[in-house]
Amino acid sequence: MNREPFRGFPTRSSLTPVPDLFFSRLLAEIDSLPELKVVLHVFWRLYRKQGALKFITCEELTSDKTLVEGLDGTEVLRGALDSAVSHGILLHVVLGGEGGDRDAYFINSEANRAAVAKIQSGELSADVMPQPQSHTREEPANVFALYEQNIGLLTPMIAEELKEAEKLYPAPWIEEAFREAVSLNKRNWRYIARILERWSLEGKGSGESGRDPKKERGPSRYLRGRYGHLVRH
């Protein structure tokens, strides 16, 4: 399969911290590409979670289509998780609850080892632990994944514009606008924003112009927004 060469990292890119020991010791011990992919993905996902106690479930990972496709299936993903646990990179614990058992994974740190010990002893109940954040393609938050997959790493300024776009447009519109821009080899947010503005002004499909049909519609709404300068041009 022919792939377009990576366009390079933007000058201002968001970063994901990874412990130095991962590079100085563990990297040489990992001889499985799926395990390496999964471990780096877990670092990335957990860094973006809220709360003091951060974990990710197997269900969250298997629902990530990009990750699963990159690993050629969920069985490879599960095997990579088992390998990361055996290497001591991740901690695994089964969380019980009303929704059934969940396989949860933590980064192997001192704080997380203490938390897992409390879970296993019953001192810390899974019922009071934070629920994992969903990361499926249907979630509006996927706009950030769409951007990184099709354009490049996020900058703080672009992230703010994406958040505002989520408030103005339905998630399917945003995803379709990305697809249209990519098909035309117009891989930049300004072009995608213009597509969304045009659909809002001229109508698209059912003619709905945003998430809330009760909100003000028409050009004046967008001329007053962040993207007003784009509409005027």
Give me 142's structure tokens: 């996927």
Mark whether 97 and 149 lie in a shared domain: no
The model's pTM is 0.56
Mark whether 219 and 153 lie in a shared domain: yes
Domain of 63 in residue numbering reads as 20-128
Total domains in the chain come to 2
Residue 8 covered by a domain: no
Residue 5 covered by a domain: no
Q: Is 150 exposed, middle or buried (0-12, 13-18, 19+ CB in 10 A)?
A: middle
Mark whether 89 and 53 lie in a shared domain: yes
What CATH number should be reported for the domain holding residue 30?
A: 1.10.10.10
pLDDT digits (tens, 9 = 90+) for 177-215: 999 999 999 999 999 999 999 998 887 754 444 444 344
Residue that terminates a domain, selected from 128, 154, 184: 128
Residue 181: C-alpha distances to residues 65, 110, 138, 176, 221 (Å): 21, 45, 19, 9, 24
Give me 123's structure tokens: 């001192």
What does the DSSP assignment read for 5-46? Answer: PP----SS-------HHIIIIIHHH---HHHHHHHHHHHHHH
Question: Residue 91 above 90 pLDDT?
Answer: yes
Q: E strands within 52-180?
A: 56-57, 90-95, 102-107
Mark whether 122 and 179 lie in a shared domain: no
Residue 14 covered by a domain: no
Q: Which pLDDT score, from 0 to 100, does residue 68 have? A: 93
| Closest listed residue to residue 106, CA positions, set 126, 136, 135 | 126
Q: Which pLDDT score, from 0 to 100, does residue 215 have? A: 46
Mark whether 175 and 94 lie in a shared domain: no
Mark whether 29 and 109 lie in a shared domain: yes
Question: What angle do the packed helices 171-183 and 189-202 form, to 10 degrees?
Answer: 120
Q: Which pLDDT score, from 0 to 100, does residue 11 have? A: 63
Residue 201 covered by a domain: yes
Give me 114's structure tokens: 């203490």
* Cα separation, 38 vs 90, whole angstroms: 10
What CATH number should be reported for the domain holding residue 196?
A: 1.10.10.630
Residue that terminates a domain, selected from 128, 152, 168: 128
pLDDT digits (tens, 9 = 90+) for 7-51: 777 666 677 889 999 999 999 999 999 999 999 999 999 988 877
Q: Which pLDDT score, from 0 to 100, does residue 92 have? A: 96
Mark whether 182 and 215 lie in a shared domain: yes
Residue that terminates a domain, selected from 106, 128, 150: 128
Mark whether 124 and 149 lie in a shared domain: no
Residue 6 covered by a domain: no
For the chain, the residue count is 233
Q: E strands within the chain?
A: 56-57, 90-95, 102-107
Residue 75 covered by a domain: yes
Mark whether 41 and 121 lie in a shared domain: yes
Mark whether 160 and 106 lie in a shared domain: no
